[in-house]
Amino acid sequence: MTKLIGRVVPQTNINVKVSLANKPYKHPDTHPASMIEEEDNRMFMTMTEKEELQGLLERETFVHTQIEATKEWIISHPLDKHPAVAVVDSAGSIVVGEVDYISKSIVRLRFTAEFSGKAYLN
C-alpha cells in the first residue's frame, strides 16, 4: 500500500537526467511547503492534544465477559464511578441496551434478547 506524503504538481517542459550509480543520497536544504500542509490523512497536534489523547489511551478500562446468554447483565467493577459502557455480542457486533447504575461499583444492563458477549467500562 502506498501512502501519500505530499502532492505532485505536474509541470511541462522539464528535462531530467538522473543517474544514481555510485552517488550517495544528499538531503535537500529546503522542502516544498506541501510537505507540511495538513490533509485528511496527515494532521498536526499540539502537545496538549497529544497529552489528552495519551490520557484517553491510558484510561482505566474494565472488561466484563458475559458467558451465559441472558437479557440482563449485572456487572460489579472496581472503577469507583459511573462508567461509560460499550457492549459487543459474541460475534463482535455492537449491542445497544439500557444501562442502570446501581452504585459506583455495580451496573445493570438490560437488553431485548438474550446473548453473551463483553461489556467495556471506562
Q: Which residues contact 70 (CB under 8 A, 6 or more apart)?
A: 114, 116
Confidence band, pLDDT 50/70/90 cuts, at residue 119: very high
Going by C-alpha positions, the residue among 91, 89, 78 that lies closest to residue 119 is: 89
If you average pLDDT over every residue of the chain, what do you get? 80
Query: How many helices and strands in the chain, by DSSP H and E?
Result: 1, 5
**pLDDT at 94 > cutoff 70:** yes
Q: Where are the domains of the chain?
A: 60-121
Percentage of the chain with pLDDT > 90? 46
Of 10-24, 57-71, 91-105, the range with the highest mean pLDDT is: 91-105
pTM of the model: 0.54
- Tell how strand 85-89 and strand 94-95 pair up: antiparallel
Residue 22: which pLDDT band, with cuts at 50, 70 and 90?
low
